[in-house]
Structure 1
Amino acid sequence: MDALNVFEELRFIVELLVAEQLFVWAFAKRKKNFWMKSSIGYALLIAIAVNYLQIQSWTEAFHSSFLTKSVSVSWYIFLVILSLIHIRMCYVITLSDALFMGIAGYSVQHIEYVVVNEVIARGIWKEVTNNLWLYILICIVTCALWYYLIARIFAAKLKACGGILYEDSIQTVLYFLVMLVVLFFTAFLGQDIFLSGTTDYSQVNYKGATYDFFSCTLVLVVQYSIFRISTLNREKEIVKQLLHERQKQYRLSKENIEMINHKCHDLKHQIQALKEAKSEELERYIEEVEESIMIYDTVVKTENEVLNTILSEKSLYCEKHRIRLSCIVDANQLDFMSTLDIYALLGNAIDNAIECVIRQRDKEKRVISLTISANGSFLCIQTNNYYEGNLQIVDGIPVTTKKNWDFHGFGMKSMKHLAEKYGGTLYTSLENGIFMLQIVIPIPAEFTRLLKEAETGKR
């Protein structure tokens, strides 16, 4: 085998895999045994790629230009498909997102190939391939510079997406498959134009290289535009949700203030009555005063200020609407999460439970239980409440029955997203009229160690 040809085959698969990793590395969560799967995948793909030289020699024996081109095109498509399977084997990623990363990675790799292989090595500086080590160095340098530029402009922004851009749906998967086919067609058509229908590398057509370069650049721009539109739509949804939550928070605060004012008004009259009460009526008035301030004793006090705020707000609301909120919480286990994430996660969980039980006609079923505890190395958050009627659950999330789809249902999705952000899962079920929401999140080992040290220090 010619050393240059071996290098070209190795170069394609390595550059493709690196380009795909450029996008997916910071984007998706890695699966269990990632390094073993990744290493085996790299080794297999490299071994398969080199075998093309043997296949090419077999096809050339038939002296058929059409057969040679067909096998060449099919081979490189086959390698790209294998690279996509490699991504799916190593990362927790949807098929749609894997196709998205594959299209972007192939476009980046092919643009570098067009510039170095077609324009420089076969056109401007044909003698460069005579010195294999110089040619390898040029490939490495141009690839590193180009990939670094793409990483700064495009790939780094994917990290903020939380591991998912698109859910798998027939329309989305078909769209990206069509886009991948278009990319293959334009890339191979550009190379065919470049070689002017012959394998004689001395005859080059820069129109083909220009076409190839701009078609892949266009695909990359389209990918970036799709990503930006998806990100902006997600941000728009979040802003809408935040505005909705602020309105709801305002109403809740207003109701709580009204209730406190009402209680204070009652206390004023009860204290006045105490002053004027006869001895036989004194005990009854004292009981009324105790009942008025009982609500403030029901609020759970923990070592986590965020949790205290949430439980205080929700307890006051539940008291007003005759809902019993029962809490068993180990607040220390929440400290590894950010303040906003705790507020969003628990606030949404309790709000959903309140919306369910507030419609209960049976007052005895207006009960919500909240449990926060550590089970081994996992944080478990669970709410239980009564639920009337049927409920459809899809992918662990109940399908909302409310008309306002923009807001209802989004809260459950945001909770699932937050759980997955910390490497956890969200699960819901409805059995015997009781709805259960369970969130399980792995507790970081470093946090567990610090927590144990702190508890030891207290002792």
Structure 2
Amino acid sequence: MVVTVIGLLRFGFSLVFGITVSSLFAGISPTRENRRSTVFLCVLFLVCQTASWWLFGLDLTSKLYPVIIHLPLIVIFSLYYKRPWLISAASVLSGYLCCQTPRWAGFLAGAILKSRLADHIFYIAAIFLFYYFLKTYVAGSVRQLMEKSCKSCLLLGGVPLFYYLFDYITTIYTDVLYSGAEWAVQFMPSMISIFYFVFVILYYAETQKQAALQRERDMLDAQFRVAQTEFASLRQLQNNAAAYRHDMRHHFSLLQGLAAEEHIEEIKEYLRTAQSDMDAITPTRFCENETVNLILSAFAARAAHAEILLTVEAHLPDALPFSDTELCSLLSNALENAVLACESISECGKRRISLRIYSKNTKLCIDIRNSYQTEPVFYESLPVAKEQGHGFGTKSMVHIVEKHGGVFQFSVKDGWFIFQATA
């Protein structure tokens, strides 16, 4: 009598364990309302299970479990808790698989002590311990992996699904496994080995992908640091120009002295030198924004040195929703790519860059066009760098535009390579 009562309690605890573990894996938020609804579900299914035992007996109830417990639970997770169908199914199947460990603990204790009662008691004790372990160390990881992608969810649900089908076919609906059929004995080890190698392949691919992303992030960080350094250099040029202007009184004093002594040729030479020095350190003023002026001045000088015709139309206010380093990285990378493309053109007369940059409705609008020698190749709407280790500047530009909720486009039209962005 005691063994029967404890056995019935065992099935009740098993049901509650399966429901709560499935809820953890499904990612159902542990709010007060959800806790109440989970308790209600446990009571409801316990009543259904007990009624089925009373009407049909234990053996038939076990066979009806997929219909009276598992399938309704998947439907409730999906419709009431608004969880995706795939995650709901994988969670319920995983919860069923988790019942295997307490079952094995109970079986082992029963075999050692040669007692059916020990089997039930150790099974119930193992349920509490295993639930704590799953909730503390496993559920969070499983939940994140399931929500990561459909492929990840299918991979996680694959083993529980095959075990579920195997268990019901070979032990509940038939006794094939206990009869010692060779195919049944070999089935689960074979499936485990298959899933192991599939997991190894997918895990390796994922680690390679993560490593590539990390390398890319490192390169983008390096690009950003270069932009910061470049901007600091430009700012220093501006400071030098300010200092030079501040020292103009000294130059005037020297010129007055030379003029008093009528050294006309020395005055002319001194003025030529001073003019050259001023041109070298004074940024050209393109618009009201100082940062953009500094960047455009630097690239205007570089374009002139490379015999590239650079035309600039800039209408920007002093304040923009970008940091100085972001502006420097965005414009410097775009103009750097344009200059490099033009430098590869053999005929100097065909080296052309056109830049339009303006503000509209508090948005920064950029249109940069350059001529090219070889037509660019695109992959996923981005130009592909031909040299190894290049192309990170383009990705840095895209990252900055998307960071500010903007849109961008790379295109080729009428002999121009065009980069357009609004952010």
Please give the TM-score of this superposition, normalised by the length of structure 2.
0.53
Q: CA deviation at 1:181?
A: 3.1
Residue 386 of structure 1 aligns with which residue? Answer: 365
| Residue among 68, 71, 74 paired with 2:64 | 71
1:186 aligns with 2:170: no
Q: CA deviation at 1:89?
A: 1.6
Paired residues for 1:388-427 under 5 Å:
401-403=381-383
1:239 aligns with 2:214: yes
The SS at the match of 2:381 is coil
Cα deviation, 1:278-318, whole Å, max 9, x if unaligned, reads 89x9xxx9x99x986999x979xxxxxxxxxxxx9x99768
Residue 373 of structure 1 aligns with which residue? Answer: none
Q: 1:40 to 1:230 in 2, by over 3 A?
A: farther
Residue 13 of structure 1 aligns with which residue? Answer: 15
Q: 1:414 to 1:124 in 2, by over 3 A?
A: farther
Residue 141 of structure 1 aligns with which residue? Answer: 125
Partners of 1:94 and 1:167 within 8 A in 2: no
Q: 1:142 to 1:41 in 2, by over 3 A?
A: closer
1:275 aligns with 2:265: no
Q: 1:58 to 1:427 in 2, by over 3 A?
A: farther
2:396 and 2:87 map into 1 onto residues whose CA distance is 21
Q: CA deviation at 1:243?
A: 1.3
Partners of 1:23 and 1:101 within 8 A in 2: yes
1:48 and 1:150 map into 2 onto residues whose CA distance is 22
The SS at the match of 1:363 is strand
Q: 1:166 to 1:11 in 2, by over 3 A?
A: same
| Residue among 245, 250, 255 paired with 2:230 | 255
Residue 89 of structure 1 aligns with which residue? Answer: 81
Q: CA deviation at 1:51?
A: 1.0
Q: CA deviation at 1:36?
A: 0.6
Residue 100 of structure 2 aligns with which residue? Answer: 110
Where do 5+ consecutive residues of structure 1 fail to align? 300-311, 330-342, 370-383, 389-398, 420-425, 437-459
Cα deviation, 1:232-275, whole Å, max 9, x if unaligned, reads 46742541232122231243134224423543554565455442
Partners of 1:114 and 1:212 within 8 A in 2: no
Q: CA deviation at 1:364?
A: 5.0
Q: CA deviation at 1:429?
A: 8.1
Paired residues in the alignment total: 341
- Report the AA paired with residue 161 of structure 2: V
The SS at the match of 1:386 is strand
Partners of 1:20 and 1:102 within 8 A in 2: yes
Which sits farther off after the overlay, 249-258 or 317-326?
317-326
Q: CA deviation at 1:112?
A: 2.0
Residue 32 of structure 2 aligns with which residue? Answer: 35
CA RMSD of aligned residues (A): 6.2
Q: 1:35 to 1:144 in 2, by over 3 A?
A: same
Residue 52 of structure 1 aligns with which residue? Answer: 49
Q: 1:263 to 1:411 in 2, by over 3 A?
A: closer
Residue 307 of structure 2 aligns with which residue? Answer: none
1:147 and 1:411 map into 2 onto residues whose CA distance is 48
1:112 and 1:414 map into 2 onto residues whose CA distance is 52
Cα deviation, 1:347-396, whole Å, max 9, x if unaligned, reads 88997799899999673525795xxxxxxxxxxxxxx43377xxxxxxxx
Residue 395 of structure 1 aligns with which residue? Answer: none
Where do 5+ consecutive residues of structure 2 fail to align? 257-270, 300-313, 339-352, 368-378, 386-390, 409-419
Partners of 2:102 and 2:127 within 8 A in 1: yes
Q: 1:97 to 1:81 in 2, by over 3 A?
A: closer
Q: 1:363 to 1:173 in 2, by over 3 A?
A: same
1:102 and 1:415 map into 2 onto residues whose CA distance is 42
Look at both structures and tell me which one has the larger radius of gyration over its CA atoms.
2
1:30 and 1:320 map into 2 onto residues whose CA distance is 55
- Report the AA paired with residue 364 of structure 2: N
Cα deviation, 1:321-344, whole Å, max 9, x if unaligned, reads 866573579xxxxxxxxxxxxx9x
2:187 and 2:19 map into 1 onto residues whose CA distance is 20
Residue 166 of structure 1 aligns with which residue? Answer: 148
- Report the AA paired with residue 167 of structure 1: S
Q: 1:219 to 1:189 in 2, by over 3 A?
A: farther
The SS at the match of 2:382 is coil
1:3 and 1:269 map into 2 onto residues whose CA distance is 97
2:202 and 2:135 map into 1 onto residues whose CA distance is 14
Q: 1:249 to 1:44 in 2, by over 3 A?
A: same
- Report the AA paired with residue 81 of structure 1: I
- Report the AA paired with residue 166 of structure 2: T
The SS at the match of 2:319 is strand
Q: CA deviation at 1:47?
A: 1.1
- Report the AA paired with residue 253 of structure 1: Q
Q: 1:251 to 1:352 in 2, by over 3 A?
A: closer
